[in-house]
Amino acid sequence: MLQKIGIFFLTATLSGMLMLGISHCKKKDQKKDSEDKTESSQAEVSKNKPLPRIVVKEGKKRNLGKLKEGIKTTVVFTMINKGDADASNISVHDLSKGGCTAVSKVSRLATGDSAKLKFIFETLGYGGKKETRKIKVRYDNPRLSPLTLSVTAEVLPTKAHQVPIGELYYNFFVLVDIRNEQAFREGHIAGAIHVPSDELLEWASRLPKDFMIYLCSENGKESDKMAKKLRNNGFTEALSIIGGIEEWKSRYGERVIIQGSQ
Look at residue 48 in the predicted model and tell me its pLDDT.
74
Average pLDDT over residues 209-223: 96
Ranges 42-46, 128-132, 141-145: which has the least confidence: 42-46
pLDDT of 154 reads 96
For residue 234, CA distances in Å to 151, 240, 242 come to 40, 15, 21
What pLDDT score does 120 carry?
A: 85
pLDDT tens profile 39-54? 454 445 456 789 999 9
In this predicted model, what pLDDT tens digit does every residue of 54-101 receive, in sequence order? 999 999 999 999 999 988 889 999 999 999 999 988 998 887 765 666
**Class of domain 54-156 (CATH, top level):** mainly beta
Dist CA 153 CA 67 (whole Å): 7
The answer to whether residue 27 scores a pLDDT higher than 60 is no
What band does 194 get if pLDDT is binned at 50, 70 and 90? very high
CA dihedral 163, 164, 168, 169 (to 10 degrees): 180
- pLDDT of 128 > 90? The answer is yes
Q: Which of 10-24, 28-42, 131-145, 210-224 has the highest mean pLDDT?
A: 210-224
Let me know if domain 172-258 sits in CATH 3.40.50.970.
Answer: no
Residue 202 has pLDDT above 70, yes or no: yes
Q: Quick one: pLDDT at residue 25?
A: 45
Can you tell me the distance from the alpha carbon of 212 to that of 61, in angstroms, rounded to the nearest whole number?
41
